[in-house]
Amino acid sequence: MNQLHRYLIKKGDLVEVIAGAYKKQRGKVLEILPKSNRIKISGIHLRIKKRARPIQKSTQDGLVATETPIHISNVMFIDPKLDKRTRLGRQMNEPGKWVRYSKKSKDLLS
């Protein structure tokens, strides 16, 4: 896998799963785990972690579900302008400043 790929998708990006049991589902990136090339996506690949007891009257008890990481090669970035899957690229915007861009719409991303 290209080592550059893991740095193009960032926390908070909207991505779509392209392989596996959660194919064609979308969610925001919650966390990136660069050592294992995995990411956590909100609402995707949930797993029951533990039973939680209520600490106060306002909190609920029961089973707590958390997102488990999936491999970064199984997701693609969603272009905010076109609302379609796209690849990302990098280009030099200013001297020494790299910027991400969408390969379909050619728009610069933050």
Q: Which residues pair with 105 in a beta bridge?
A: none
Reported confidence tier of residue 1, pLDDT bands at 50, 70, 90: very low
DSSP string, 27-95: EEEEEEETTTTEEEETTSSEEEEEEE--SSSSS--EEEEEE--EEGGGEEEEPTTT-SEE-EEEEEEET
Ordered domains of the chain (ranges, CATH): 5-102 (2.30.30.30)
More confidently predicted of 77 and 95: 77
* Cα-trace Rg, the chain: 17
Q: Which of 81, 83, 85, 76 is nearest to 109 (CA)?
A: 81
Quick check: pTM over 0.85? Answer: no
Task: Give the pLDDT confidence score for residue 5 in this predicted structure.
Answer: 52
Q: What is the pLDDT of residues 2-55, one digit of tens each?
A: 554 546 899 999 999 999 999 999 999 999 998 899 999 999 998 887 776 777
> What does the block give as tokens for 66?
């958390």
Q: What is the pLDDT of residues 58-84, one digit of tens each?
A: 666 677 788 999 999 999 999 999 999
